[in-house]
Amino acid sequence: MILVNRYTTILSRILPERSIGDFAIKKDVILRGDIIRTYHPGGYFYHDMLNRDFPTVKLTEEKGGVWMSDTPMEQEALRIPSTVARGDVLIIGLGLGLLPTLIKMRNKMVDSILIIEKNEEVANLVYSKIRSRKASLLLGDGETYLAAPGRKFDFIFIDVWGSITAPMREIEHWTNLAKGRLKHAGDVRCWLQELYDRIKDKLPKEPLSEHGPPAVHEPCLICGKKLRYDYAGLCMDCADFLGVSEPYAGGKND
């Protein structure tokens, strides 16, 4: 059973419900006894039950659904980055501001935080509520910022994705891009890095034309689904998104 008191609910107290343009901050409550999906920092998803009501906040886009929340799953996915960050930190993607908030609460080894956010509406919804004396915000495209020469950082964290599947095909690209902005012995991590590290050598290298029948298989390498078709360890949805099921080969979902 998930012990809710190990997670912060600070965002539900400091971020008001409101909308700007296509983006909105929305609040909800996950009820005691609800079964939710959460994340283990070893790099896998699992389901568990809440031991009490848990207030949550979501960043939504009118046409893009939910971009981020502060559920236990999201907080577990940021547990390692929030504790290993040090020195001068660069965060690509503001979201709800959960990572800089967790760093402020837990980590005394961080000297400064620069956040790059390309969407002005998101910045206006969130930043003024989570800012601190160590943090600053720059409006701009994270990919463009990393590719240009300039200031270097001790720790870089990248979270620009709204789905759990998308990072699996982009982490390597973003990591290589970020290396040019690292100080000597600096470190770069991406959202769900642990999941990627666990499965990257197991992912199919070529599109698959055949799959096993729908049945209870071992958990999908990415999402953990068990009742599924089997595409070399992936469910149909994850295989389609990554372009490794034959009908979607060639990047149909890009």
Q: Residue 44 domain-assigned?
A: yes
pLDDT of residue 208: 84
Looking at the chain, the whole-number percentage of residues with pLDDT higher than 90 is 86
pLDDT tens for each residue of 128-138: 999 999 999 99
**Domain identity same for 107 and 171:** yes
Q: Residue 240 domain-assigned?
A: yes
pLDDT tens for each residue of 153-174: 999 999 999 999 999 999 999 9
Mean pLDDT of the chain: 93
pLDDT of residue 249 exceeding 70 = no
Given a contact cutoff of 8 angstroms between Cβ atoms, the answer to whether 160 and 96 are in contact is no
**Domain identity same for 116 and 166:** yes
Going by C-beta distance under 8 Å and a sequence separation of 6 or more, which residues neighbour residue 182? Answer: 152, 153, 154, 156, 188
Question: Which domain does 208 fall in, by range?
Answer: 202-248
Confidence of residue 247 (pLDDT cuts 50, 70, 90): low
How many domains is the chain built from? 3
Q: Which long-range contacts (CB under 8 A, 24 or more apart) does 133-137 make?
A: 134/104, 134/110, 135/100, 136/112, 137/94
pLDDT of residue 79: 96
pLDDT tens for each residue of 77-106: 999 999 999 999 999 999 999 999 999 999
**Domain identity same for 185 and 222:** no
Q: What number is the average pLDDT over the span 22-49?
A: 96
